[in-house]
Structure 1
Protein backbone atom coordinates (compact mmCIF):
# COMPACT_ATOMS: atom_id res chain seq x y z
CA UNK A 1 0.00 0.00 0.00
CA UNK A 2 1.39 3.38 -1.02
CA UNK A 3 1.70 5.92 1.81
CA UNK A 4 -0.69 8.87 1.64
CA UNK A 5 0.65 10.46 4.85
CA UNK A 6 4.14 10.21 6.35
CA UNK A 7 4.76 11.91 9.71
CA UNK A 8 8.24 11.80 11.21
CA UNK A 9 9.34 13.27 14.56
CA UNK A 10 6.61 15.89 14.74
CA UNK A 11 6.92 18.41 17.59
CA UNK A 12 4.67 21.32 18.62
CA UNK A 13 4.90 23.33 21.84
CA UNK A 14 2.78 26.09 23.34
CA UNK A 15 4.98 27.83 25.90
CA UNK A 16 6.14 25.18 28.36
CA UNK A 17 3.55 22.66 27.17
CA UNK A 18 4.71 20.20 24.51
CA UNK A 19 1.41 19.25 22.88
CA UNK A 20 3.03 16.98 20.27
CA UNK A 21 6.27 15.30 21.29
CA UNK A 22 8.06 13.40 18.53
CA UNK A 23 5.04 11.84 16.82
CA UNK A 24 5.70 9.50 13.87
CA UNK A 25 3.23 7.41 11.86
CA UNK A 26 2.14 6.61 8.31
CA UNK A 27 -1.28 6.29 6.69
CA UNK A 28 -1.69 4.17 3.57
CA UNK A 29 -3.62 5.22 0.50
CA UNK A 30 -7.27 4.17 0.92
CA UNK A 31 -6.80 3.36 4.60
CA UNK A 32 -9.21 4.28 7.41
CA UNK A 33 -6.84 5.44 10.17
CA UNK A 34 -7.81 6.41 13.71
CA UNK A 35 -5.96 8.68 16.12
CA UNK A 36 -7.14 7.84 19.64
CA UNK A 37 -6.43 9.52 22.93
CA UNK A 38 -7.95 11.11 26.03
CA UNK A 39 -8.75 14.82 26.23
CA UNK A 40 -5.59 16.89 25.88
CA UNK A 41 -3.58 13.99 24.44
CA UNK A 42 -2.51 15.94 21.33
CA UNK A 43 -4.93 14.45 18.78
CA UNK A 44 -6.31 17.70 17.38
CA UNK A 45 -2.94 19.47 17.33
CA UNK A 46 -1.40 16.53 15.46
CA UNK A 47 -4.22 16.61 12.94
CA UNK A 48 -3.87 20.38 12.45
CA UNK A 49 -0.14 19.98 11.80
CA UNK A 50 -0.78 17.29 9.19
CA UNK A 51 -3.51 19.40 7.56
CA UNK A 52 -1.16 22.38 7.33
CA UNK A 53 -3.22 24.55 9.68
CA UNK A 54 -0.28 24.93 12.07
CA UNK A 55 3.48 25.08 11.62
CA UNK A 56 5.45 22.33 13.39
CA UNK A 57 8.38 23.27 15.63
CA UNK A 58 10.29 20.21 14.42
CA UNK A 59 9.77 17.11 12.33
CA UNK A 60 8.36 16.59 8.87
CA UNK A 61 4.96 15.91 7.31
CA UNK A 62 4.32 14.62 3.80
CA UNK A 63 0.78 14.39 2.41
CA UNK A 64 0.44 12.79 -1.03
CA UNK A 65 4.15 13.47 -1.50
CA UNK A 66 3.74 17.20 -0.76
CA UNK A 67 4.51 19.37 2.27
CA UNK A 68 1.37 20.91 3.82
CA UNK A 69 3.17 23.82 5.52
CA UNK A 70 3.43 26.55 4.40
CA UNK A 71 -0.10 26.23 2.96
CA UNK A 72 0.30 24.40 -0.33
CA UNK A 73 -2.21 25.43 -3.05
CA UNK A 74 -1.49 22.22 -4.97
CA UNK A 75 -2.48 20.11 -1.96
CA UNK A 76 -5.62 21.93 -0.80
CA UNK A 77 -7.99 20.54 -3.49
CA UNK A 78 -6.92 16.99 -2.57
CA UNK A 79 -7.92 17.34 1.10
CA UNK A 80 -11.28 17.61 2.84
CA UNK A 81 -11.31 18.79 6.44
CA UNK A 82 -14.07 18.53 9.03
CA UNK A 83 -12.97 20.44 12.10
CA UNK A 84 -13.86 19.58 15.70
CA UNK A 85 -16.10 22.66 15.96
CA UNK A 86 -18.08 23.33 12.79
CA UNK A 87 -19.12 26.87 11.88
CA UNK A 88 -21.51 27.87 9.11
CA UNK A 89 -22.46 31.17 7.51
CA UNK A 90 -25.35 32.79 9.35
CA UNK A 91 -28.88 32.58 7.94
CA UNK A 92 -27.88 30.37 5.01
CA UNK A 93 -29.80 27.17 4.31
CA UNK A 94 -28.10 23.79 4.04
CA UNK A 95 -28.20 24.06 0.23
CA UNK A 96 -26.77 27.59 0.27
CA UNK A 97 -24.03 26.52 2.69
CA UNK A 98 -22.77 23.66 0.57
CA UNK A 99 -23.07 25.63 -2.65
CA UNK A 100 -20.91 28.35 -1.08
CA UNK A 101 -18.25 25.80 -0.12
CA UNK A 102 -18.47 24.23 -3.57
CA UNK A 103 -17.91 27.57 -5.30
CA UNK A 104 -14.54 27.91 -3.54
CA UNK A 105 -13.36 24.86 -5.50
CA UNK A 106 -15.13 25.66 -8.75
CA UNK A 107 -17.68 22.89 -8.21
CA UNK A 108 -21.03 23.58 -9.95
CA UNK A 109 -24.23 23.98 -7.85
CA UNK A 110 -25.75 20.78 -9.23
CA UNK A 111 -22.82 18.73 -7.93
CA UNK A 112 -23.17 20.39 -4.53
CA UNK A 113 -26.85 19.47 -4.41
CA UNK A 114 -25.94 15.84 -5.19
CA UNK A 115 -23.68 15.81 -2.14
CA UNK A 116 -26.60 16.85 0.05
CA UNK A 117 -28.40 13.72 -1.13
CA UNK A 118 -25.32 11.58 -0.41
CA UNK A 119 -25.36 12.64 3.27
CA UNK A 120 -29.13 12.32 3.58
CA UNK A 121 -29.95 16.03 3.79
CA UNK A 122 -31.90 16.44 0.56
CA UNK A 123 -35.17 16.92 2.44
CA UNK A 124 -33.54 19.54 4.69
CA UNK A 125 -31.99 21.58 1.87
CA UNK A 126 -34.10 24.66 2.67
CA UNK A 127 -33.54 24.51 6.44
CA UNK A 128 -31.21 27.19 7.90
CA UNK A 129 -28.02 25.58 9.20
CA UNK A 130 -28.61 26.84 12.73
CA UNK A 131 -31.93 24.93 12.85
CA UNK A 132 -30.42 21.57 11.91
CA UNK A 133 -30.08 18.91 14.60
CA UNK A 134 -26.61 17.97 15.88
CA UNK A 135 -26.43 14.93 13.62
CA UNK A 136 -27.69 16.85 10.60
CA UNK A 137 -25.16 19.64 11.20
CA UNK A 138 -22.35 17.07 11.38
CA UNK A 139 -23.54 15.54 8.10
CA UNK A 140 -23.57 18.98 6.47
CA UNK A 141 -20.06 19.63 7.76
CA UNK A 142 -18.84 16.37 6.24
CA UNK A 143 -20.67 17.14 2.99
CA UNK A 144 -18.83 20.47 2.78
CA UNK A 145 -15.53 18.62 3.31
CA UNK A 146 -16.39 16.16 0.52
CA UNK A 147 -18.05 18.41 -2.04
CA UNK A 148 -14.87 18.78 -4.14
CA UNK A 149 -14.23 14.99 -4.08
CA UNK A 150 -10.90 15.02 -2.20
CA UNK A 151 -8.57 12.01 -2.06
CA UNK A 152 -8.01 12.46 1.68
CA UNK A 153 -10.55 13.32 4.39
CA UNK A 154 -9.75 14.48 7.94
CA UNK A 155 -12.51 14.08 10.54
CA UNK A 156 -11.93 15.49 14.02
CA UNK A 157 -14.34 13.82 16.49
CA UNK A 158 -17.24 13.85 14.00
CA UNK A 159 -19.67 12.04 16.31
CA UNK A 160 -18.98 13.98 19.52
CA UNK A 161 -22.19 14.81 21.43
CA UNK A 162 -24.43 12.88 19.02
CA UNK A 163 -27.13 10.49 20.22
CA UNK A 164 -26.64 6.75 19.52
CA UNK A 165 -28.92 6.73 16.45
CA UNK A 166 -27.20 9.74 14.89
CA UNK A 167 -23.79 8.21 15.61
CA UNK A 168 -24.65 4.94 13.86
CA UNK A 169 -26.14 6.75 10.87
CA UNK A 170 -22.94 8.75 10.59
CA UNK A 171 -20.86 5.55 10.83
CA UNK A 172 -22.68 4.24 7.75
CA UNK A 173 -21.77 7.43 5.90
CA UNK A 174 -18.10 7.19 6.94
CA UNK A 175 -17.93 3.60 5.69
CA UNK A 176 -19.33 4.75 2.33
CA UNK A 177 -16.69 7.48 2.12
CA UNK A 178 -13.89 4.99 2.70
CA UNK A 179 -15.38 2.30 0.45
CA UNK A 180 -15.43 4.87 -2.36
CA UNK A 181 -11.61 4.82 -2.21
CA UNK A 182 -10.89 7.85 -0.05
CA UNK A 183 -8.27 7.83 2.68
CA UNK A 184 -9.88 8.76 5.99
CA UNK A 185 -8.12 10.00 9.13
CA UNK A 186 -10.35 10.10 12.19
CA UNK A 187 -9.77 11.37 15.72
CA UNK A 188 -12.10 10.04 18.38
CA UNK A 189 -12.26 8.98 22.01
CA UNK A 190 -15.07 6.51 21.31
CA UNK A 191 -13.34 3.14 21.27
CA UNK A 192 -16.31 1.24 19.80
CA UNK A 193 -16.30 3.69 16.89
CA UNK A 194 -12.60 3.17 16.20
CA UNK A 195 -12.86 -0.61 16.57
CA UNK A 196 -15.71 -0.76 14.08
CA UNK A 197 -14.44 1.71 11.45
CA UNK A 198 -10.65 1.81 11.45
CA UNK A 199 -8.18 -0.43 9.62
CA UNK A 200 -5.45 0.77 11.99
CA UNK A 201 -5.28 3.05 15.00
CA UNK A 202 -2.59 4.95 16.87
CA UNK A 203 -3.06 5.58 20.59
CA UNK A 204 -1.63 8.94 21.64
CA UNK A 205 -1.20 10.42 25.12
CA UNK A 206 0.98 13.20 26.42
CA UNK A 207 1.77 14.12 22.83
CA UNK A 208 3.39 10.74 22.12
CA UNK A 209 2.28 7.70 20.14
CA UNK A 210 2.04 4.77 22.57
CA UNK A 211 0.95 1.99 20.23
CA UNK A 212 -0.07 1.56 16.58
CA UNK A 213 -1.80 -1.35 14.88
CA UNK A 214 -5.01 -2.94 13.72
CA UNK A 215 -7.64 -2.85 16.51
CA UNK A 216 -8.01 -6.64 16.54
CA UNK A 217 -4.23 -7.11 16.77
CA UNK A 218 -3.92 -4.66 19.66
CA UNK A 219 -6.73 -6.43 21.53
CA UNK A 220 -5.21 -9.84 20.86
CA UNK A 221 -1.83 -8.72 22.22
CA UNK A 222 -3.38 -7.52 25.48
CA UNK A 223 -3.03 -10.04 28.29
CA UNK A 224 -6.58 -9.67 29.58
CA UNK A 225 -8.97 -12.21 31.14
CA UNK A 226 -12.32 -13.28 29.71
CA UNK A 227 -15.54 -12.44 31.58
CA UNK A 228 -18.14 -15.23 31.46
CA UNK A 229 -21.61 -14.43 32.75
CA UNK A 230 -24.59 -16.71 33.42
CA UNK A 231 -27.97 -16.19 35.04
CA UNK A 232 -27.73 -15.80 38.81
CA UNK A 233 -28.91 -18.83 40.80
CA UNK A 234 -27.63 -21.50 38.43
CA UNK A 235 -24.41 -21.84 40.39
CA UNK A 236 -23.35 -20.45 43.77
CA UNK A 237 -20.42 -18.01 43.75
CA UNK A 238 -18.43 -20.02 46.29
CA UNK A 239 -18.95 -23.20 44.26
CA UNK A 240 -17.78 -21.46 41.08
CA UNK A 241 -14.69 -20.24 42.93
CA UNK A 242 -13.94 -23.80 44.06
CA UNK A 243 -14.61 -25.47 40.69
CA UNK A 244 -13.00 -23.12 38.20
CA UNK A 245 -9.67 -21.32 37.64
CA UNK A 246 -10.96 -17.78 38.20
CA UNK A 247 -9.34 -14.42 38.89
CA UNK A 248 -12.63 -13.20 40.32
CA UNK A 249 -16.23 -14.37 40.81
CA UNK A 250 -19.08 -11.89 41.33
CA UNK A 251 -22.82 -12.40 41.82
CA UNK A 252 -25.02 -9.28 41.81
CA UNK A 253 -28.27 -11.20 42.05
CA UNK A 254 -28.87 -10.91 38.30
CA UNK A 255 -25.73 -12.45 36.81
CA UNK A 256 -22.90 -14.59 38.07
CA UNK A 257 -19.70 -13.38 36.41
CA UNK A 258 -16.54 -15.46 36.31
CA UNK A 259 -13.37 -13.62 35.31
CA UNK A 260 -10.88 -16.17 34.03
CA UNK A 261 -7.86 -16.79 31.83
CA UNK A 262 -9.02 -20.32 31.03
CA UNK A 263 -12.36 -19.69 29.33
CA UNK A 264 -12.48 -23.13 27.67
CA UNK A 265 -12.25 -24.92 31.03
CA UNK A 266 -14.96 -22.74 32.58
CA UNK A 267 -17.36 -23.05 29.62
CA UNK A 268 -16.93 -26.83 29.52
CA UNK A 269 -17.62 -27.05 33.25
CA UNK A 270 -20.73 -24.88 32.99
CA UNK A 271 -22.02 -27.01 30.12
CA UNK A 272 -21.53 -30.20 32.14
CA UNK A 273 -23.66 -28.69 34.91
CA UNK A 274 -26.32 -27.43 32.47
CA UNK A 275 -25.61 -23.90 33.73
CA UNK A 276 -25.47 -21.93 30.49
CA UNK A 277 -28.76 -20.02 30.70
CA UNK A 278 -28.18 -16.32 30.01
CA UNK A 279 -24.61 -17.03 28.86
CA UNK A 280 -22.48 -14.02 27.91
CA UNK A 281 -18.79 -14.22 27.02
CA UNK A 282 -16.90 -10.93 26.92
CA UNK A 283 -13.28 -10.74 25.87
CA UNK A 284 -11.02 -7.72 25.83
CA UNK A 285 -11.93 -4.73 23.66
CA UNK A 286 -10.07 -1.75 22.25
CA UNK A 287 -11.27 0.18 25.30
CA UNK A 288 -9.31 -2.23 27.51
CA UNK A 289 -6.21 -1.60 25.37
CA UNK A 290 -6.79 2.16 25.60
CA UNK A 291 -7.13 2.12 29.40
CA UNK A 292 -4.13 -0.17 29.76
CA UNK A 293 -2.00 2.31 27.79
CA UNK A 294 -3.36 5.64 29.07
CA UNK A 295 -4.54 4.78 32.59
CA UNK A 296 -7.92 5.15 34.26
CA UNK A 297 -7.53 8.61 35.79
CA UNK A 298 -10.26 11.10 34.92
CA UNK A 299 -9.18 13.78 32.43
CA UNK A 300 -11.11 17.06 32.63
Structure 2
Protein backbone atom coordinates (compact mmCIF):
# COMPACT_ATOMS: atom_id res chain seq x y z
CA UNK A 1 0.00 0.00 0.00
CA UNK A 2 1.21 3.52 -0.83
CA UNK A 3 -0.78 5.26 1.95
CA UNK A 4 -2.06 3.71 5.17
CA UNK A 5 -3.85 5.12 8.21
CA UNK A 6 -4.54 2.96 11.26
CA UNK A 7 -6.68 4.15 14.15
CA UNK A 8 -5.73 7.74 13.37
CA UNK A 9 -6.86 10.11 16.11
CA UNK A 10 -6.17 13.82 16.55
CA UNK A 11 -7.28 15.99 19.43
CA UNK A 12 -6.83 19.73 19.84
CA UNK A 13 -7.42 20.32 23.52
CA UNK A 14 -10.86 18.94 24.31
CA UNK A 15 -11.88 18.81 20.65
CA UNK A 16 -11.49 15.56 18.71
CA UNK A 17 -10.79 16.38 15.06
CA UNK A 18 -10.20 12.75 14.00
CA UNK A 19 -11.55 9.71 15.79
CA UNK A 20 -9.83 6.38 15.05
CA UNK A 21 -10.00 6.46 11.26
CA UNK A 22 -8.38 3.73 9.16
CA UNK A 23 -7.93 3.26 5.41
CA UNK A 24 -5.46 2.03 2.79
CA UNK A 25 -4.70 3.37 -0.68
CA UNK A 26 -2.94 1.42 -3.42
CA UNK A 27 -0.75 2.69 -6.23
CA UNK A 28 -2.55 4.41 -9.08
CA UNK A 29 -5.80 4.86 -7.15
CA UNK A 30 -7.80 8.05 -6.77
CA UNK A 31 -9.04 7.99 -3.18
CA UNK A 32 -11.86 10.38 -2.33
CA UNK A 33 -11.97 11.72 1.22
CA UNK A 34 -15.41 13.27 1.45
CA UNK A 35 -16.92 15.46 4.10
CA UNK A 36 -18.17 18.98 4.85
CA UNK A 37 -15.87 21.79 5.88
CA UNK A 38 -14.47 21.21 9.37
CA UNK A 39 -14.88 17.44 9.29
CA UNK A 40 -11.15 16.69 9.52
CA UNK A 41 -10.08 16.35 5.87
CA UNK A 42 -7.21 18.85 5.95
CA UNK A 43 -6.05 17.59 9.35
CA UNK A 44 -5.74 14.12 7.85
CA UNK A 45 -3.57 15.39 4.98
CA UNK A 46 -1.35 17.27 7.42
CA UNK A 47 -0.81 14.12 9.47
CA UNK A 48 -0.20 11.89 6.45
CA UNK A 49 2.42 14.30 5.09
CA UNK A 50 4.21 14.67 8.42
CA UNK A 51 3.18 18.28 9.02
CA UNK A 52 1.18 17.36 12.12
CA UNK A 53 1.56 14.61 14.70
CA UNK A 54 -1.34 12.30 15.46
CA UNK A 55 -2.52 11.99 19.05
CA UNK A 56 -3.02 8.25 18.58
CA UNK A 57 -2.70 5.73 15.77
CA UNK A 58 -0.30 5.67 12.85
CA UNK A 59 0.06 7.09 9.33
CA UNK A 60 2.33 5.75 6.63
CA UNK A 61 3.45 6.69 3.12
CA UNK A 62 5.68 4.42 1.02
CA UNK A 63 5.66 1.98 3.95
CA UNK A 64 7.32 4.53 6.24
CA UNK A 65 5.85 6.40 9.22
CA UNK A 66 4.81 9.88 8.11
CA UNK A 67 6.82 11.63 10.84
CA UNK A 68 9.95 9.85 9.57
CA UNK A 69 9.71 10.98 5.94
CA UNK A 70 13.03 12.18 4.54
CA UNK A 71 13.63 14.95 2.01
CA UNK A 72 13.94 12.23 -0.63
CA UNK A 73 10.52 10.86 0.34
CA UNK A 74 8.98 14.33 0.28
CA UNK A 75 10.38 14.93 -3.20
CA UNK A 76 8.01 12.18 -4.39
CA UNK A 77 4.97 14.00 -3.00
CA UNK A 78 2.94 16.89 -4.43
CA UNK A 79 0.41 18.94 -2.45
CA UNK A 80 -2.26 21.50 -3.39
CA UNK A 81 -4.22 22.96 -0.48
CA UNK A 82 -5.99 26.17 0.47
CA UNK A 83 -2.80 27.21 2.27
CA UNK A 84 -0.56 26.77 -0.78
CA UNK A 85 1.09 30.14 -1.33
CA UNK A 86 2.74 31.82 -4.30
CA UNK A 87 4.66 34.99 -5.11
CA UNK A 88 1.96 37.51 -6.03
CA UNK A 89 4.24 40.12 -7.62
CA UNK A 90 6.06 37.60 -9.80
CA UNK A 91 4.66 36.36 -13.07
CA UNK A 92 3.03 32.96 -13.31
CA UNK A 93 6.06 31.72 -15.23
CA UNK A 94 8.61 32.99 -12.69
CA UNK A 95 6.62 31.35 -9.91
CA UNK A 96 7.04 28.07 -11.75
CA UNK A 97 10.73 28.65 -12.43
CA UNK A 98 11.48 29.04 -8.73
CA UNK A 99 10.27 25.48 -8.13
CA UNK A 100 11.80 24.22 -11.36
CA UNK A 101 15.22 25.39 -10.18
CA UNK A 102 14.69 23.80 -6.77
CA UNK A 103 13.95 20.41 -8.35
CA UNK A 104 16.41 20.76 -11.24
CA UNK A 105 13.60 20.76 -13.81
CA UNK A 106 14.00 22.22 -17.31
CA UNK A 107 12.02 25.11 -18.79
CA UNK A 108 10.64 22.63 -21.31
CA UNK A 109 9.04 20.71 -18.45
CA UNK A 110 7.52 23.94 -17.12
CA UNK A 111 6.12 24.78 -20.56
CA UNK A 112 4.67 21.29 -20.87
CA UNK A 113 2.93 21.55 -17.49
CA UNK A 114 1.45 24.99 -18.20
CA UNK A 115 0.09 23.75 -21.50
CA UNK A 116 -1.38 20.65 -19.84
CA UNK A 117 -3.47 22.82 -17.51
CA UNK A 118 -4.32 25.37 -20.20
CA UNK A 119 -2.57 28.48 -18.85
CA UNK A 120 0.59 28.69 -20.97
CA UNK A 121 -0.69 31.75 -22.84
CA UNK A 122 -1.00 33.61 -19.53
CA UNK A 123 2.51 32.79 -18.30
CA UNK A 124 3.67 36.42 -18.29
CA UNK A 125 0.80 37.72 -16.18
CA UNK A 126 1.56 38.76 -12.58
CA UNK A 127 0.27 35.98 -10.34
CA UNK A 128 -1.89 38.42 -8.36
CA UNK A 129 -3.83 39.25 -11.56
CA UNK A 130 -4.75 35.66 -12.33
CA UNK A 131 -8.33 34.48 -11.93
CA UNK A 132 -9.17 32.00 -9.18
CA UNK A 133 -9.24 29.18 -11.72
CA UNK A 134 -5.85 30.13 -13.16
CA UNK A 135 -4.30 30.30 -9.69
CA UNK A 136 -5.63 26.82 -8.92
CA UNK A 137 -4.20 25.49 -12.17
CA UNK A 138 -0.86 27.16 -11.48
CA UNK A 139 -0.69 25.52 -8.06
CA UNK A 140 -1.59 22.15 -9.56
CA UNK A 141 1.08 22.52 -12.25
CA UNK A 142 3.58 23.49 -9.56
CA UNK A 143 2.68 20.42 -7.48
CA UNK A 144 3.36 18.23 -10.53
CA UNK A 145 6.72 19.79 -11.38
CA UNK A 146 8.64 17.01 -9.60
CA UNK A 147 6.51 14.25 -11.17
CA UNK A 148 5.26 13.07 -7.76
CA UNK A 149 4.28 9.49 -7.07
CA UNK A 150 1.66 10.69 -4.58
CA UNK A 151 -0.50 13.78 -5.03
CA UNK A 152 -2.57 15.33 -2.21
CA UNK A 153 -5.34 17.62 -3.43
CA UNK A 154 -7.40 19.50 -0.86
CA UNK A 155 -10.60 20.76 -2.55
CA UNK A 156 -8.77 21.42 -5.87
CA UNK A 157 -11.87 22.54 -7.79
CA UNK A 158 -13.67 24.45 -5.03
CA UNK A 159 -15.16 27.64 -6.47
CA UNK A 160 -14.14 26.87 -10.05
CA UNK A 161 -16.40 27.02 -13.08
CA UNK A 162 -17.42 23.71 -14.75
CA UNK A 163 -15.09 24.07 -17.75
CA UNK A 164 -12.04 24.67 -15.54
CA UNK A 165 -13.03 21.78 -13.27
CA UNK A 166 -13.24 19.52 -16.31
CA UNK A 167 -9.68 20.43 -17.34
CA UNK A 168 -8.45 19.44 -13.89
CA UNK A 169 -10.51 16.24 -13.89
CA UNK A 170 -9.07 15.16 -17.25
CA UNK A 171 -5.53 15.81 -16.00
CA UNK A 172 -6.12 13.79 -12.82
CA UNK A 173 -7.37 10.83 -14.84
CA UNK A 174 -4.25 11.05 -17.03
CA UNK A 175 -2.06 11.04 -13.92
CA UNK A 176 -3.93 8.04 -12.53
CA UNK A 177 -3.38 6.16 -15.80
CA UNK A 178 0.36 6.78 -15.39
CA UNK A 179 0.34 5.29 -11.89
CA UNK A 180 0.09 8.39 -9.70
CA UNK A 181 -1.70 7.83 -6.40
CA UNK A 182 -4.12 10.70 -5.68
CA UNK A 183 -5.63 11.59 -2.31
CA UNK A 184 -8.54 13.89 -3.09
CA UNK A 185 -10.59 15.75 -0.51
CA UNK A 186 -13.84 17.22 -1.75
CA UNK A 187 -17.45 17.88 -0.84
CA UNK A 188 -18.45 17.68 -4.52
CA UNK A 189 -20.28 14.37 -4.88
CA UNK A 190 -20.44 14.54 -8.67
CA UNK A 191 -16.67 14.99 -8.79
CA UNK A 192 -16.15 12.03 -6.47
CA UNK A 193 -18.42 9.81 -8.54
CA UNK A 194 -16.57 10.70 -11.75
CA UNK A 195 -13.02 10.35 -10.46
CA UNK A 196 -12.68 8.09 -7.45
CA UNK A 197 -11.90 4.38 -7.34
CA UNK A 198 -12.56 4.27 -3.63
CA UNK A 199 -13.86 6.78 -1.13
CA UNK A 200 -14.46 7.40 2.53
CA UNK A 201 -17.29 9.50 3.98
CA UNK A 202 -16.12 11.58 6.93
CA UNK A 203 -18.46 13.19 9.46
CA UNK A 204 -17.32 15.03 12.59
CA UNK A 205 -13.97 13.27 12.51
CA UNK A 206 -15.38 9.77 12.09
CA UNK A 207 -15.58 7.53 9.02
CA UNK A 208 -19.23 6.67 8.50
CA UNK A 209 -18.85 4.62 5.31
CA UNK A 210 -16.25 3.44 2.80
CA UNK A 211 -16.38 1.78 -0.61
CA UNK A 212 -16.40 2.46 -4.33
CA UNK A 213 -18.91 5.04 -5.61
CA UNK A 214 -20.85 2.40 -7.55
CA UNK A 215 -20.64 -0.06 -4.66
CA UNK A 216 -22.07 2.42 -2.17
CA UNK A 217 -24.85 3.48 -4.52
CA UNK A 218 -25.75 -0.17 -5.09
CA UNK A 219 -25.68 -0.88 -1.34
CA UNK A 220 -28.11 1.93 -0.53
CA UNK A 221 -30.35 1.47 -3.57
CA UNK A 222 -32.89 -0.47 -1.55
CA UNK A 223 -36.19 0.82 -2.97
CA UNK A 224 -35.42 -0.36 -6.53
CA UNK A 225 -37.75 2.16 -8.13
CA UNK A 226 -37.72 3.93 -11.49
CA UNK A 227 -39.52 6.96 -12.90
CA UNK A 228 -41.26 6.36 -16.21
CA UNK A 229 -42.03 9.33 -18.47
CA UNK A 230 -44.72 8.80 -21.10
CA UNK A 231 -45.04 10.44 -24.50
CA UNK A 232 -47.90 12.62 -23.25
CA UNK A 233 -45.54 14.16 -20.63
CA UNK A 234 -46.95 12.34 -17.62
CA UNK A 235 -44.70 10.47 -15.20
CA UNK A 236 -45.09 7.52 -12.88
CA UNK A 237 -42.86 6.04 -10.19
CA UNK A 238 -42.94 2.24 -10.12
CA UNK A 239 -40.92 -0.61 -8.67
CA UNK A 240 -38.22 -1.96 -10.97
CA UNK A 241 -39.79 -5.42 -11.36
CA UNK A 242 -43.00 -3.87 -12.71
CA UNK A 243 -41.21 -2.69 -15.86
CA UNK A 244 -41.87 -5.99 -17.62
CA UNK A 245 -45.63 -5.40 -17.44
CA UNK A 246 -45.55 -1.93 -19.06
CA UNK A 247 -46.54 -1.28 -22.64
CA UNK A 248 -43.36 0.16 -24.17
CA UNK A 249 -44.79 2.11 -27.17
CA UNK A 250 -46.15 4.85 -24.91
CA UNK A 251 -42.91 5.25 -22.91
CA UNK A 252 -40.57 8.18 -23.60
CA UNK A 253 -37.85 7.59 -20.95
CA UNK A 254 -37.06 5.48 -17.90
CA UNK A 255 -34.85 6.85 -15.11
CA UNK A 256 -33.48 4.99 -12.11
CA UNK A 257 -34.22 6.39 -8.65
CA UNK A 258 -30.89 5.20 -7.24
CA UNK A 259 -29.44 7.47 -4.55
CA UNK A 260 -26.58 9.89 -5.07
CA UNK A 261 -23.57 10.00 -2.75
CA UNK A 262 -25.09 13.14 -1.26
CA UNK A 263 -28.30 11.20 -0.51
CA UNK A 264 -26.27 8.44 1.15
CA UNK A 265 -24.34 10.91 3.30
CA UNK A 266 -27.57 12.59 4.45
CA UNK A 267 -29.05 9.16 5.25
CA UNK A 268 -26.03 8.28 7.39
CA UNK A 269 -25.50 11.60 9.16
CA UNK A 270 -28.53 13.80 8.72
CA UNK A 271 -26.24 16.54 7.39
CA UNK A 272 -25.18 17.82 3.98
CA UNK A 273 -21.74 17.61 2.41
CA UNK A 274 -21.63 20.93 0.58
CA UNK A 275 -21.35 23.14 3.65
Above 0.5 in TM-score?
A: yes
Q: 1:188-226 deviations in whole A, cap 9, x for unaligned?
A: 011111111011001111111122111111111114433
Tell me the CA shift for residue 9 of structure 1. Answer: 1.1
Aligned pair 1:230/2:229, yes or no? Answer: yes
Distance 2:115 2:202 in 1: 35
Equivalence for 1:271? 247
Aligned-partner Cα distance in 1 for 2:173–2:236: 35
Gaps of 5+ in 1: 235-253
Alignment partners' CA distance in 1, 2:127 and 2:16: 37
Relative to structure 2, which stretch is displaced further, 36-45 or 81-90?
Answer: 81-90
Greater relative CO, 1 or 2 (CA 8 Å, sep 6+):
2
Decide which moves more: 132-141 or 286-295. Answer: 286-295
Select the residue among 76, 87, 90 that pairs with 2:88. 90
State the partner residue of 1:250: none
**Is contact 1:99-1:113 (8 Å) kept?**
no
Q: Hey, what's the Cα distance between the residues in 2 that align with 1:298 and 1:125?
A: 35
Rg larger for? 1
Q: Partners of 2:88 and 2:274 in 1: how far apart?
A: 34
Alpha-carbon deviation of 1:70? Answer: 5.2
Offset of residue 257 of structure 1: 4.6
Q: In structure 1, how many angstroms separate the alpha carbons of the residues matched to 2:228 and 2:267?
A: 23
How many angstroms does 1:160 deviate by? 0.3
Tell me, yes or no, if structure 1 residue 134 matches structure 2 residue 138. no
1:294 deviates by 2.4
- Structure 1 length normalisation: TM-score? 0.84
Q: 1:137–1:299: structure 2 CA closer, same or farther, 3 Å change rule?
A: closer
Name the residue aligned to 1:212: 210
Q: Unaligned stretches of 5+ in structure 2? A: none
After superposition, give the CA deviation of every residue in 1:157-180 in whole Å (9 maximum; x if it has no partner).
001011122212221111112112
Please report how far the alpha carbon of residue 128 of structure 1 lies from its aligned counterpart in structure 2 after TM superposition: 1.6
CA distance in 2, matches of 1:85, 1:256: 48
Rate the CA distance shift 1:291–1:112 in 2: closer, same or farther, 3 A. same
**Among candidates 190, 196, 199, match of residue 192 of structure 1:** 190
Q: Quote the offset at 1:299 in angstroms.
A: 7.9
5 Å-filtered alignment, 1:164-179, equals: 164-179=162-177
Return the offset for 1:39: 2.0
Checking the alignment, whether the CA contact within 8 Å between 1:8 and 1:61 is kept in structure 2 is yes
1:284 partnered with 2:259? yes
Count the aligned residue pairs: 274
8 Å Cα contact 1:200-1:215 kept in structure 2: yes
Show the counterpart of 2:61.
63
C-alpha separation between the residues in 1 aligned to 2:222 and 2:259?
6
